[in-house]
Chains A and B, each alone.
Chain A
Amino acid sequence: MISVEERPSDAPGDLHRRLGLTDEELAAITERLSRAPNDLELAMFSVMWSEHCSYKSSRRLLRSLPTQGEGVLAGPGENAGVVRIGDGLAVAFKLESHNHPSAVEPYQGAATGVGGILRDIVAMGARPVALLDALKFGWPADAATRRLVRGVVGGVGGYGNCVGVPTVGGELTFDPTYTANPLVNVMCVGLLPEGRLARATAPTPGSLAVLFGSPTGRDGIGGASVLASANFDEGSAAMRPSVQIGDPFAGKLLIEASLELVERGLVEGLQDLGAAGLTCASSEMADRGGTGMRIDLAAVPRREEGMAPFEVMISESQERMLAVVRPDVLDNVLDVCRRWGLSAAVVGSVTDDGDVTIVDEHGAEVARVPARALASESIEITRQASPPQRRRPAPAPGETPLAHDGLPERGMDPAAVLEALLGHPNVGSRALVTTQYDQTVGADTIEACDRAAAVLRIKGTQRALVVATDSQPRVALHDPALAAAMAVAECSRNVAVTGARPLGLTNCLNFGDPGVPEAYWQLSESVRGLAEACRALEIPVTGGNVSLYNESPLGRIAPTAQIGVVGVLDDVDLLVRPAFVAEGDLVVLLGEAGPGMAGSAYELLAGSAPDDKPPSLELGRESALQQVLSEAAADRILRSAHDVSAGGLAVALAEAAIWGGIGADLQVAVSLAPAVALFGESPSRAVVTVDPPRWPELARLAAGKRVACRRLGSVGGDRLRIRLVGVGATGAAEERGAGVADELDVRLSELQRAWEQALPRALGEVQ
């Protein structure tokens, strides 16, 4: 890593390596400049050509993603995707990681992750209206994990609560592969009038570059190259100076000032300063505008004295934005910043030479680099991909894998398995965490945390936004392409079950070292699955983020394609919620269970056969199911709808019952095996309820789309009762000789307690 004392000029010859650049990359830089770079230029290249900023290993793959779609106003390459939603409004959204900073300094790492994604949304001219956090940690019994959870959750809440953006959803997953490398992925959603769309560009030579927000310090020097683009080891604690420090109060002022600037039409272009700081903002804005930018170092407001030029140029100090403004409105711009109590300074000007030029305090030119060489024409690396020898982790010593078609043979009955699943921290309520997040600021929240999708009404319209984020890392250990496609299917289904139309998709691809063929194979397979699913379901990918080098001495993380989908419900009165509503309603299962327990929550409890596979996904079926859900919602046929995912059908039914405060009496036909029917996680299924007279309509609609549609029973009482019937159930329990019941009959209050206590128990915080 770069240390502040050790100036780049100390060791000529191999400086580039210490900055994380390879010899090949140095050669490519030299070729683009037609000369050797000086030390400052090299430092600028090192951050811009980092994996984090350049996507040098992933760009080729990402080109395969479908990015076109109806209403897409801004796609990949912008600070965030923007999609039209009607009524003259658009939604801006993006998922981003802050994994390594959070591993080193959990509170600040997570807080600045939130701050960074908020500014990305603001840079598009949108007012942030919702945050979602997808968090992944090692096993919760581990003291180090608990410390990380406390810090990360504190940081997400500390920033989001203070800036007044509700945190309305997310994921919390525990898996041993994340022990030394937790994942902190944050999604932000913002709203804007279409006409206010801002771009991160510098289109007009002669315009001025105004840096506003917090002054620049030495924090976060080399964050992009050091933290985000290298594997983790024991020396990670020494990287702490590379973690930025967040100031949500300044962040809030920055949001208000930025939105006022955009709203009043005072800026030509706007970009936040995140990874690679001023170097990134200046080169990307010039590159997009087809211009150049001249930066006057002496004009940059500082927090510390004696900063070297490279430190000013690559500092990742938080809460800063760069605006490109016409000279005639400069005074207005400075006025707005002053009123919000933010420092602002003209730090440069837009030129027509295509270069980013850096001038020092004596007026001497100390760097000159073509903007596109730093940005759009940075290096691309071809990586080797090869599938791993073993696609799943070996069973732990002493662990006996069980046949996938049986219930756990420990004298348990299905009710006990259901309680155990609801009580699992990957399945149970996240309330312990989400009560620390302000979920209702903004006065728009209709459904939030602990639901599969969050719903926010849009004031002044009849519409609502529906947002969800999902991932399938345990399936990905078996089949990364399937896992990515399943996550897309699940996430869009979670939006569709509410009656909303999915409009666009963002993703955060968290993977290992791309130089390792197996890790690169996982990445390329995931992108393949992602592209396939998005194409089949006709959802454009409007942006995303790639986080590589998620490895530690304990190994590589499970391949994690985190998916975020945003949809719109045109008439909020048509919203379908997940909870059971009324006694006597029919409970209906849409879709069919298929075999395969690998990667499921059930497998976590019971193990699975060594040759078992994850369930399969048929995208045509998924699409048909989503159409049925959407049409049924539009025709007001559905009383409730909830997707079947983690924990399978039994958990979906239990959740709908717990949330509705009302039980159900049901029969489930078992054709394969009881465990598959009750706890299997095969995709493309939903549990819905209807008023009995509406049943024929639903049955007709489903038949028309060839979606299986089966009555399970009816809502009522204070117990969840599920009788297993059919070939797979009758007598099967006796045959196995396991004392397994063919019926599940349990008081709702017991299920609720298990669900609520899952996380407090796992984290040792039972009160």
Chain B
Amino acid sequence: MKVGIVVFPGSNCDRDAAHAVRLAGAEAELLWHERPDLGGSQAVILPGGFAHGDYLRAGAIARFSPIMGAVGDHAARGGLVLGICNGFQVLTEAGLLPGALRRNTTLRFEHRWVTLSVERDDTPFTHAVPDGARLRMPIAHGEGCYWLPDAELDRLEAAGQVVFRYVAPEGNPNGSARDIAGVIDGSGRVCGLMPHPERAAERILGSDDGMHLVRSLVESIARVEAAA
């Protein structure tokens, strides 16, 4: 089982994601953004950071990186793709996930611990989450305000594509529409969220709730392998 982790120039959560994947018992390989393939990875994570400095708009340049072609093909073939923070931004810019991430309504970079509800626990990214569990993990971003026009939000919700929401006690930290913290695409194989599950990977860090997501991903690969 191998999870590829894309490294854009400016990615800075790549090694954290690799650490969490290894904790879940899978192999992790860092994939430099200039390569045109995924090196045989069965799933791919787009990690957090500031790809290409985010100088234009978060994720706007990263989507043109050579590896993004391979990521798109992987998704089209039903491969699993998880975008975290900046990785989520890149996936929306690349059109692999609906919506856009705007500047936080506080107009500030926000680092906080948040609590998430899991709206869908039947996805490849969430099936290992205990029933009804609320997940605690940090956010750290300046552009995490999820946005879609209202009508499209209605469609998104009706299609069950909202996977994570910010809930009490901290609530919505960035002004995201309908408290959305993470979404999944129509195929159910591409998922993105702003909070950082890889930083909530061990009790000593304050929470290991993020491992439910990482473990789900790794177990999903195992299932596909077993089926094949």
**Residues of A near any B CB (own CB < 8 A):** 157-158, 161-164, 247-250, 252-253, 339-341, 434-446, 457, 459, 572
Compute how far the CA of A62 lies from the CA of B140 in the bound complex, rounded to whole angstroms.
40
| A161 in contact with B109 (CB, 8 Å) | yes
Question: What is the CB-to-nearest-CB distance from A759 to chain B, in angstroms, rounded to a whole number?
Answer: 14
| A438 in contact with B109 (CB, 8 Å) | yes
Inside 8 A of A446's CB, which chain B residues have their CB? Answer: 204-206
Q: Does residue B117 face the partner (Cβ distance < 8 Å to A)?
A: no
Question: What is the CB-to-nearest-CB distance from A538 to chain B, in angstroms, rounded to a whole number?
Answer: 30
| A249 in contact with B140 (CB, 8 Å) | no
A-binding segment of B11-19, B65-73, B152-160: B11-19
Inside 8 A of A158's CB, which chain B residues have their CB? Answer: 109
- Choose from A162, A434, A435 the contact partner of B10 (Cβ within 8 Å): A162
Compute how far the CA of A247 lies from the CA of B9 in the bound complex, rounded to whole angstroms.
13
Question: What is the CB-to-nearest-CB distance from A512 to chain B, in angstroms, rounded to a whole number?
Answer: 35
Interface positions of B from 1 to 50, Cβ below 8 Å from A: 9-10, 12-13, 16, 19-20, 32, 48-50
13 A-B pairs with C-beta separation under 8 A: A161-B140, A161-B142, A162-B10, A248-B50, A436-B110, A438-B111, A438-B140, A439-B111, A439-B140, A440-B138, A440-B140, A441-B140, A443-B205
| B9 in contact with A253 (CB, 8 Å) | yes
Question: What is the CB-to-nearest-CB distance from B130 to chain A, in angstroms, rounded to a whole number?
Answer: 22
Q: Does residue B165 face the partner (Cβ distance < 8 Å to A)?
A: no
**Residues of B near any A CB (own CB < 8 A):** 9-10, 12-13, 16, 19-20, 32, 48-50, 52-55, 108-112, 138, 140, 142, 196, 198-199, 201, 204-206
| A435 in contact with B111 (CB, 8 Å) | yes
Compute how far the CA of A109 lies from the CA of B16 in the bound complex, rounded to whole angstroms.
30
| B19 in contact with A459 (CB, 8 Å) | yes
| A249 in contact with B9 (CB, 8 Å) | yes
- Choose from A248, A340, A438, A572 the contact partner of B204 (Cβ within 8 Å): A572
| A443 in contact with B50 (CB, 8 Å) | no
| Nearest-CB residue, chain B, relative to A434 | B111
Inside 8 A of B198's CB, which chain A residues have their CB? Answer: 443
Inside 8 A of A443's CB, which chain B residues have their CB? Answer: 16, 19-20, 198-199, 201, 205
Compute how far the CA of A443 lies from the CA of B140 in the bound complex, rounded to whole angstroms.
12
| B16 in contact with A442 (CB, 8 Å) | yes
Inside 8 A of B20's CB, which chain A residues have their CB? Answer: 443
| A249 in contact with B109 (CB, 8 Å) | no
| A252 in contact with B10 (CB, 8 Å) | yes
Compute how far the CA of A567 lies from the CA of B9 in the bound complex, rounded to whole angstroms.
33
| A457 in contact with B204 (CB, 8 Å) | yes
Question: What is the CB-to-nearest-CB distance from A126 to chain B, in angstroms, rounded to a whole number?
Answer: 15
Residue of A248, A441, A445 contacting most chain B CB atoms (<10 Å): A441
Inside 8 A of A163's CB, which chain B residues have their CB? Answer: 12
Question: What is the CB-to-nearest-CB distance from B65 to chain A, in angstroms, rounded to a whole number?
Answer: 12
| Nearest-CB residue, chain B, relative to A127 | B15
| A249 in contact with B52 (CB, 8 Å) | yes
Inside 8 A of B55's CB, which chain A residues have their CB? Answer: 249
Inside 8 A of B52's CB, which chain A residues have their CB? Answer: 249
Compute how far the CA of A435 lies from the CA of B108 in the bound complex, rounded to whole angstroms.
9
| B13 in contact with A437 (CB, 8 Å) | no
Inside 8 A of A435's CB, which chain B residues have their CB? Answer: 108, 110-112
| B109 in contact with A441 (CB, 8 Å) | no
Question: What is the CB-to-nearest-CB distance from B81 to chain A, in angstroms, rounded to a whole number?
Answer: 21
Question: What is the CB-to-nearest-CB distance from A260 to chain B, in angstroms, rounded to a whole number?
Answer: 12
Inside 8 A of B205's CB, which chain A residues have their CB? Answer: 440, 443-446, 457
Compute how far the CA of A455 lies from the CA of B167 in the bound complex, rounded to whole angstroms.
28
Compute how far the CA of A162 lies from the CA of B53 in the bound complex, rounded to whole angstroms.
7
Compute how far the CA of A678 lies from the CA of B55 in the bound complex, rounded to whole angstroms.
51
| B53 in contact with A157 (CB, 8 Å) | no
Kindly list 12 other residue pairs between chains A and B, CB separation below 8 angstroms, not including A250-B53, A438-B111, A443-B201.
A161-B109, A162-B50, A164-B49, A252-B10, A436-B110, A440-B205, A441-B12, A441-B199, A443-B19, A444-B205, A446-B204, A446-B205
Query: 5 smallest A-B Cβ distances: which pairs?
Result: A164-B12, A249-B53, A443-B16, A438-B140, A162-B50
Inside 8 A of A445's CB, which chain B residues have their CB? Answer: 205
| Nearest-CB residue, chain A, relative to B196 | A440
Compute how far the CA of A440 lies from the CA of B200 in the bound complex, rounded to whole angstroms.
9
Question: What is the CB-to-nearest-CB distance from B138 to chain A, in angstroms, rounded to a whole number?
Answer: 5
| A248 in contact with B53 (CB, 8 Å) | yes
Q: A249-B52, A252-B50, A446-B204 are in contact. Are A436 and B9 (CB under 8 A)?
A: no
| A436 in contact with B50 (CB, 8 Å) | no
Inside 8 A of A442's CB, which chain B residues have their CB? Answer: 16
- Choose from B10, B13, B112 the contact partner of A249 (Cβ within 8 Å): B10
Inside 8 A of B142's CB, which chain A residues have their CB? Answer: 161
| Nearest-CB residue, chain B, relative to A445 | B205
Question: What is the CB-to-nearest-CB distance from B222 to chain A, in angstroms, rounded to a whole number?
Answer: 24
Compute how far the CA of A572 lies from the CA of B198 in the bound complex, rounded to whole angstroms.
20
Compute how far the CA of A500 lies from the CA of B205 in the bound complex, rounded to whole angstroms.
18
| Nearest-CB residue, chain B, relative to A442 | B16
| Nearest-CB residue, chain B, relative to A446 | B204
| B9 in contact with A164 (CB, 8 Å) | no
| A157 in contact with B109 (CB, 8 Å) | yes
Compute how far the CA of A444 lies from the CA of B13 in the bound complex, rounded to whole angstroms.
12
| A436 in contact with B13 (CB, 8 Å) | no
| Nearest-CB residue, chain A, relative to B32 | A339
Compute how far the CA of A619 lies from the CA of B204 in the bound complex, rounded to whole angstroms.
34
Compute how far the CA of A438 lies from the CA of B144 in the bound complex, rounded to whole angstroms.
14
Inside 8 A of B201's CB, which chain A residues have their CB? Answer: 443
Compute how far the CA of A435 lies from the CA of B113 in the bound complex, rounded to whole angstroms.
10
| A437 in contact with B111 (CB, 8 Å) | yes
Compute how far the CA of A255 lies from the CA of B38 in the bound complex, rounded to whole angstroms.
25
Compute how far the CA of A109 lies from the CA of B12 in the bound complex, rounded to whole angstroms.
23
Compute how far the CA of A339 lies from the CA of B32 in the bound complex, rounded to whole angstroms.
10
Inside 8 A of A341's CB, which chain B residues have their CB? Answer: 9
Compute how far the CA of A437 lies from the CA of B142 in the bound complex, rounded to whole angstroms.
10
Inside 8 A of A457's CB, which chain B residues have their CB? Answer: 204-205
Q: A164-B13, A441-B13, A441-B140 are in contact. Are A436 and B109 (CB under 8 A)?
A: yes
| Nearest-CB residue, chain B, relative to A575 | B204
Question: What is the CB-to-nearest-CB distance from B22 to chain A, in angstroms, rounded to a whole number?
Answer: 10
Question: What is the CB-to-nearest-CB distance from A560 to chain B, in angstroms, rounded to a whole number?
Answer: 27
Compute how far the CA of A446 lies from the CA of B52 in the bound complex, rounded to whole angstroms.
29
Question: What is the CB-to-nearest-CB distance from A257 to chain B, in angstroms, rounded to a whole number?
Answer: 10
| Nearest-CB residue, chain A, relative to B206 | A446
Question: What is the CB-to-nearest-CB distance from A516 to chain B, in angstroms, rounded to a whole number?
Answer: 41
Inside 8 A of A437's CB, which chain B residues have their CB? Answer: 109, 111
Inside 8 A of A340's CB, which chain B residues have their CB? Answer: 9
| Nearest-CB residue, chain A, relative to B50 | A162
Inside 8 A of A439's CB, which chain B residues have their CB? Answer: 111, 138, 140
Residue of B19, B109, B205 contacting most chain A CB atoms (<10 Å): B109
Compute how far the CA of A167 lies from the CA of B52 in the bound complex, rounded to whole angstroms.
21
Compute how far the CA of A157 lies from the CA of B110 in the bound complex, rounded to whole angstroms.
10
Compute how far the CA of A616 lies from the CA of B102 in the bound complex, rounded to whole angstroms.
54
Residue of A164, A247, A341, A443 contacting most chain B CB atoms (<10 Å): A443
Compute how far the CA of A708 lies from the CA of B201 in the bound complex, rounded to whole angstroms.
41
| A436 in contact with B108 (CB, 8 Å) | yes
Inside 8 A of B19's CB, which chain A residues have their CB? Answer: 443, 459
Compute how far the CA of A751 lies from the CA of B13 in the bound complex, rounded to whole angstroms.
37
Compute how far the CA of A434 lies from the CA of B113 in the bound complex, rounded to whole angstroms.
13
Q: A164-B13, A443-B19 are in contact. Are A436 and B111 (CB under 8 A)?
A: yes
Compute how far the CA of A171 lies from the CA of B54 in the bound complex, rounded to whole angstroms.
29
Inside 8 A of A162's CB, which chain B residues have their CB? Answer: 10, 12, 50, 53-54
Inside 8 A of B196's CB, which chain A residues have their CB? Answer: 440
Compute how far the CA of A435 lies from the CA of B173 in the bound complex, rounded to whole angstroms.
11
| B138 in contact with A252 (CB, 8 Å) | no
Compute how far the CA of A162 lies from the CA of B85 in the bound complex, rounded to whole angstroms.
13
